[in-house]
Amino acid sequence: MVCRPPQQHLRAGPQALEPQQEAALGACGTGQPKSAPLIILFPPSSEELRTNKATLVCLISDFYPSNMTVAWKANGSPVTQGVETTKPSKQSNNKYAASSYLSLTPESWKSRSSYSCQVTHEGSTVEKTLSPSQCS
């Protein structure tokens, strides 16, 4: 699908839309405007820590379109090992949701001062950070 410049967009013929109707349809006439993701970052549960595991969960919801990337950081440095990110799935509101998991040992979790889940969507980046000391 090729997007046209906004001034040419959906204006031909007797069915031309008012500017506010056109804006509501989004840049490519998809019927949906862009939507930034909502991000919630969960620490490992105390139950999981007792089993000698520590998983951080980053829930990403209500974004459109579906393209996005997730990066994890420990103390501000990139982490790539132990990361699993799901493919975005469509929600009932026609926006998308995904989740990303960072699997650690309890020792790794407790030894860092912060962990961050960084989501990049449509050129904007949103980051949520947890500190193990706040989760005792």
> Residue ranges of the domains in the chain?
38-135
Residue with the larger pLDDT of the pair 124 and 17: 124
What local confidence, expressed as pLDDT, does residue 136 receive? 64
What local confidence, expressed as pLDDT, does residue 135 receive? 81
What local confidence, expressed as pLDDT, does residue 57 receive? 99
Q: How far is CA 119 from CA 61, 98, 104, 105, 135, in A?
A: 11, 11, 20, 23, 22
Separation of alpha carbons 15 and 18, rounded Å: 10
Residue entry with tokens 């549960």: 45
Q: What is the pLDDT of residues 60-110, one digit of tens each?
A: 999 999 999 999 999 999 999 999 999 999 999 999 999 999 999 999 999
Banded model confidence at residue 5, pLDDT cuts 50, 70, 90 = very low
Q: Flag whether pLDDT at 46 surpasses 70.
A: yes
Separation of alpha carbons 37 and 126, rounded Å: 8
The reply to whether omega before 65 is within 30° of 0 (cis) is: yes
The domain 38-135 having CATH identifier 2.60.40.10: the answer here is yes
User: What percentage of the chain exceeds 70 in pLDDT?
Assistant: 76
pTM for this prediction: 0.77
Beta bridge partners, 77, equal 74
Q: What is the dihedral of CA 27, 89, 44, 116, to 10 degrees?
A: -30
Banded model confidence at residue 28, pLDDT cuts 50, 70, 90 = low
